[in-house]
Amino acid sequence: MRSGKVQPGEKLPSIAGMGDRFDVSSSTIQMVYVRLEALRVIRRQQGKGVFVTDPKTWMREP
Protein backbone atom coordinates (compact mmCIF):
# COMPACT_ATOMS: atom_id res chain seq x y z
CA MET A 1 0.00 0.00 0.00
CA ARG A 2 2.87 2.34 0.76
CA SER A 3 4.33 1.61 -2.67
CA GLY A 4 1.19 2.83 -4.38
CA LYS A 5 0.34 -0.48 -6.02
CA VAL A 6 -3.02 -0.34 -4.28
CA GLN A 7 -4.92 2.92 -4.66
CA PRO A 8 -7.21 4.65 -2.13
CA GLY A 9 -10.78 3.48 -2.58
CA GLU A 10 -9.68 0.27 -4.27
CA LYS A 11 -11.64 -2.80 -3.25
CA LEU A 12 -9.53 -5.62 -1.84
CA PRO A 13 -10.24 -9.29 -2.48
CA SER A 14 -12.38 -11.21 0.00
CA ILE A 15 -10.73 -13.03 2.88
CA ALA A 16 -11.13 -16.32 1.00
CA GLY A 17 -9.76 -14.76 -2.17
CA MET A 18 -6.70 -13.40 -0.40
CA GLY A 19 -6.14 -16.74 1.31
CA ASP A 20 -6.18 -18.51 -2.03
CA ARG A 21 -3.97 -15.90 -3.67
CA PHE A 22 -1.26 -16.09 -1.00
CA ASP A 23 -1.82 -19.72 -0.02
CA VAL A 24 -2.51 -18.97 3.64
CA SER A 25 -5.45 -19.74 5.89
CA SER A 26 -8.53 -17.54 6.03
CA SER A 27 -7.89 -16.96 9.74
CA THR A 28 -4.49 -15.44 8.91
CA ILE A 29 -6.05 -13.05 6.40
CA GLN A 30 -8.79 -12.23 8.91
CA MET A 31 -6.14 -11.27 11.49
CA VAL A 32 -4.35 -9.09 8.92
CA TYR A 33 -7.58 -7.34 7.93
CA VAL A 34 -8.45 -6.72 11.59
CA ARG A 35 -5.02 -5.20 12.19
CA LEU A 36 -5.16 -3.04 9.05
CA GLU A 37 -8.63 -1.86 10.01
CA ALA A 38 -7.40 -0.93 13.50
CA LEU A 39 -4.60 1.08 11.87
CA ARG A 40 -7.21 2.72 9.59
CA VAL A 41 -5.44 1.45 6.46
CA ILE A 42 -8.61 -0.28 5.29
CA ARG A 43 -12.30 0.07 5.99
CA ARG A 44 -14.97 -2.58 5.78
CA GLN A 45 -18.44 -1.93 4.46
CA GLN A 46 -20.97 -4.58 5.34
CA GLY A 47 -22.21 -6.28 2.21
CA LYS A 48 -19.87 -4.30 -0.06
CA GLY A 49 -16.32 -5.35 0.81
CA VAL A 50 -13.01 -4.10 2.11
CA PHE A 51 -11.53 -0.86 0.76
CA VAL A 52 -8.21 0.92 1.04
CA THR A 53 -8.42 4.27 2.83
CA ASP A 54 -6.65 7.49 1.92
CA PRO A 55 -3.02 7.27 3.10
CA LYS A 56 -3.34 10.72 4.65
CA THR A 57 -5.40 9.07 7.39
CA TRP A 58 -2.69 6.58 8.38
CA MET A 59 0.68 7.18 6.73
CA ARG A 60 3.28 9.04 8.73
CA GLU A 61 6.44 10.62 7.44
CA PRO A 62 9.59 8.64 8.42
Instruction: Give the chain's domains with CATH numbers.
Output: 11-54 (1.10.10.10)
d(CA 23, CA 33): 16
Helices (H), 1-62: 15-22, 26-38
d(CA 44, CA 48): 8
Q: What's residue 56's pLDDT?
A: 81
d(CA 49, CA 59): 22
Amino acid found at 11: K
Give pLDDT tens digits for 4-57: 788 999 999 999 999 999 999 999 999 999 999 999 999 999 999 999 998 887
pTM value? 0.81
